[in-house]
Amino acid sequence: MQVFFSMEGKELQARIKGEVDLETADQLRQELEASLDHARPEVLLLDLAGVTFMDSSGLGVILGRYRRLQKKGGRIILYRPQPQVRRLLELSGLGKIMTIETGEGLSEQGEID
């Protein structure tokens, strides 16, 4: 698993590649926390296009960062998840509390990507 970060305005973008599972979740958590501490963004955009597999450990990492940002009025955007990852996000309920943007024109909330 690899994570590539960039900052655009007040949005921290994290492009994740590989599998996010029990083996890699702690590494992802640490990298996200360090970048959030440094950048202090209002929005965390998680680009999931390169994530080939995710389990409940990955969901936990995302939920933890959501709670952290929500306390300060921030939010998370889940961007371009692969179909199998998107299904997991929807089944877990994360799709109800976070925006999922497919990158195909309209987001789940009807906004233009």
In tens, the pLDDT along 90-111 reads 999 999 999 999 876 544 443 4
CATH 3.30.750.24, applies to 2-101 = yes
pLDDT, tens digit, 9 for 90 and up, residues 53-77: 999 999 999 999 999 999 999 999 9
Q: What is the pTM of this model?
A: 0.89
CA dist 107 to 25, 31, 99, Å?
A: 26, 27, 7
Say if residue 112's pLDDT is above 70: no
CA 105, CA 10: separation in Å to the nearest integer?
A: 22
**Does residue 2 register a pLDDT over 60?**
yes
Residue type for position 3: V
Residue ranges per domain, the chain?
Answer: 2-101
HSE (side-chain half, CA atoms, 13 Å) at 80: 16
